[in-house]
Amino acid sequence: MLRRVGEEGAYASDALHAALDANLKPADAALATELTMGVLRWRGQIDFLIECLSNKPVSRLDLPVLIALRLGLYQMRFMQKIPARAAVNESVDLVKWARKSSAAPFVNAVLRKAGEQSRKPIVELLPPGKTAAERLAGLHSHPQWLVERWLASKGETATVALLAANNETPRLACVLNDPSAREKVFAELTQAGLRVEPGQLLNNAFSVSGGSPSRTAAFREGRISIQDEASQAVPLLLGVRAGERVLDVCAAPGGKTAALARAAGQTSFVVAADLHAHRLRATKAQFTRLHLASITLVALDAEKPLPFAAHFDRILVDAPCSGTGTLARHPEIRWRLKPEQLGEFHAMQTAILRNAIAQAAPNARIVYSTCSMEPEENESVIEAVLQNPGGDNAKLHRADTAEMPRALKAHLALQVEADRLFDEAGSFRTLPQRDATDGFFAALLVKGK
């Protein structure tokens, strides 16, 4: 799985889903998940240690050799139950299995040396004289450029809290698709060996641990879905009403569209659009599992004018983005993302939002959202569109700042105050370090008459 992430650019969650089939013992699946995600989260710190121990830059190591070293070091420094001897032997066997036998003595020597200082705190190994960004990047295993950005915009206290949250194993959140079946579903999940806990934000959300909900009848039959709570909240912000025409511009994998379709009702016109046909096929399978047969699927490039004759009353633009709000769930992103990509995302997101607005009916509501923490992808996109809406030159304005809180309030868990989820401009925000969710941004716009 780590080779797929490194060689093919796969997402770790997708690689895990493909590899961990129902025939694998739950304990083995859990260990494979821990090793895969743990190595990706702590890659920066682990690679620093490899270079210190081997006197070689990791860029000069063959990927199978580097992965074997990362796995061994992760087990030795971050896991308590695996003996160091076993971690060393397994990593040596891995390079042999990968037909890199000539590297076996090197791997053995590096990891045995690592075993001598496996419990020494990383802070004692960092060279003196580091800047705050260099020190925090090393301690928390994040790229230095991203740490520098966050220090400049958030300050050290908030940055440290965010870095720490990104290295926690995220809660496995689910949505209850039929609230009336709550007790029955929870009993089924408990009987299947899962531990069920209430949601942090939403009254129809819950989290599970101790196994995979996707292996349960409740999941297969569409009574539950796996979805982060912040992601669950975004479609609720649109306040869809029965009978309205609804468009989800960047719909795959379909979790948000499903919530929109339920709110609009079976007789409404609901469109799920996406750029990639293969993602729409997976989205269609999702809708089949959820017994949502009335959604129209369309493959389109949303950076170009949209191909619909109809105009829509409610539009969701959950735009492709950097994903910096999901670094706990998708740790590989932190090592792939480059600073210059933020400007590229901004240009794409602005084009998509303008095209969506042009497809909106008078007085339509448009929610723009990302799972990014970066202003270039959030506030700056809204500002660019408001300065020059384009399309049919219709006036566009932010909704009353109370409108999104009102739409969300009925769905919040009892202990959650809506105001904490909205900033001074009325935009929706979740923070991983505060809300135990992914970091999301959403803004509500209203099309003029």
Ramachandran quadrant class, 349 (left: phi over 0; alpha: psi -120 to 50; beta: rest): alpha
**How much is the average pLDDT of 82-102?**
95
251-298 pLDDT, tens digit each: 999 999 999 999 999 889 999 999 999 999 999 999 999 999 999 999
Domains 2-136 and 229-447 share a fold: no
**What's the pLDDT band for 394 if we cut at 50, 70, 90?**
low
**Collapsed DSSP state (helix, strand, coil) of residue 74:** helix
* Fold adopted by 172-226: Alpha-Beta Plaits (3.30.70)
- What does the alpha-carbon distance between residue 133 and residue 148 come to, in Å, rounded to a whole number? 6
For the whole model, what pTM was predicted? 0.94
Task: Output helix, strand, coil percentages for the chain, rounded to the nearest 5.
Answer: 50, 15, 35
Structure confidence at residue 125 (pLDDT): 86
Q: How many CB atoms lie within 10 A of CB 284?
A: 16
- The pairing of strands 312-318 and 295-299 is unpaired
Count how many residues are written for the chain: 449
229-252 pLDDT, tens digit each: 999 999 999 999 999 999 999 999
**How much is the average pLDDT of 367-384?**
97
- The pairing of strands 224-226 and 246-248 is unpaired
**What's the pLDDT band for 127 if we cut at 50, 70, 90?**
confident
Backbone angles phi, psi at 436, to 5 degrees: 55, 40
- Locate 153 and state its tokens: 């915009």
Amino acid identity of 89? N
Q: Which of 22-36, 184-198, 384-398, 407-421 has the lowest mean pLDDT?
A: 384-398
Is residue 253 reached through a cis peptide bond, with omega within 30 degrees of 0 on the bond before it?
Answer: yes
In 249-288, the DSSP E strands lie at: 270-274
**How much is the average pLDDT of 121-136?**
90
Q: Which residue has the higher pLDDT, 388 or 15?
A: 15
- What does the alpha-carbon distance between residue 235 and residue 270 come to, in Å, rounded to a whole number? 13
Checking if the pLDDT of 23 tops 90, the result is no
Q: How many CA atoms lie within 13 A of 355 on its CB side?
A: 22
**What's the pLDDT band for 119 if we cut at 50, 70, 90?**
confident
Q: What are the residue ranges spanned by the domains of the chain?
A: 2-136, 172-226, 229-447
Q: Tell me which residue of 237, 240, 231 sits closest to 175, measured CA to CA.
A: 231
Structure confidence at residue 116 (pLDDT): 80
316-355 pLDDT, tens digit each: 999 999 999 999 999 999 999 999 999 999 999 999 999 9
What DSSP letter does each residue of 384-437 carry, written as one string?
HHHH---TT---EEEPPTTHHHHHHHTTB-TT--GGGGB-TTS-EE--HHHHSS
Checking if the pLDDT of 390 tops 60, the result is no
What DSSP letter does each residue of 275-317 carry, written as one string?
S-HHHHHHHHHHHHHTT---EEEEE--TTS----SS-EEEEEE
Checking if the pLDDT of 392 tops 60, the result is no
Checking if the pLDDT of 433 tops 80, the result is yes
190-227 pLDDT, tens digit each: 999 999 999 999 999 999 999 889 989 999 999 999 99
CATH number of the 229-447 domain:
3.40.50.150
Amino acid identity of 241? R
Ramachandran quadrant class, 99 (left: phi over 0; alpha: psi -120 to 50; beta: rest): left
109 secondary structure, DSSP code: H
* Fold adopted by 2-136: N-utilizing Substance Protein B Homolog; Chain A (1.10.940)
Structure confidence at residue 275 (pLDDT): 97
- Locate 215 and state its tokens: 């292996």
